[in-house]
Amino acid sequence: MFGRSEYSRAISLDIGEIERRLRSLERRLERIGGRTSATAAETADRIGEAVASALGSMAERFRNRAGSVSEEAVRFGGQATREAARLGNTALRRLAGEVEHRPLVVLAVAVGVGFLAGLASHRR
């Protein structure tokens, strides 16, 4: 019986030692886990900042391109307006010249166009 008591005491000491080591290991893991979560949070913040920066620079490039496209559109619009005005003035001068030289022909053409326009609007 004496042997069993020593055996039980040895097992109790071993179990106590195992429990002590487990608690120590748990504390270490908690510290490591705390550091890991802090590191993960910092890493997530850094990644978020990098993504935000990249998206910001992309948005800036799009804004710059949109600005240059709108400037080109304004320039082309101005050119088109000037060209249309020039063509309109040229057509008006030609028409005025034709009216001076051939007033009856121009009057006949105007009556014909009016007649065709009347027929087209009457059918609808």
d(CA 121, CA 87): 28
d(CA 39, CA 51): 18
Residue 90: count other Cβ atoms within 10 Å of its Cβ: 10
Least confident stretch, 10-14, 18-22, 107-111: 10-14
- 21 versus 124: the higher-pLDDT residue is 21
Give the structural domain span for 35: 2-123
d(CA 44, CA 36): 12
Give the whole-number percent of the chain exceeding pLDDT 70. 83
Number of structural domains found in the chain: 1
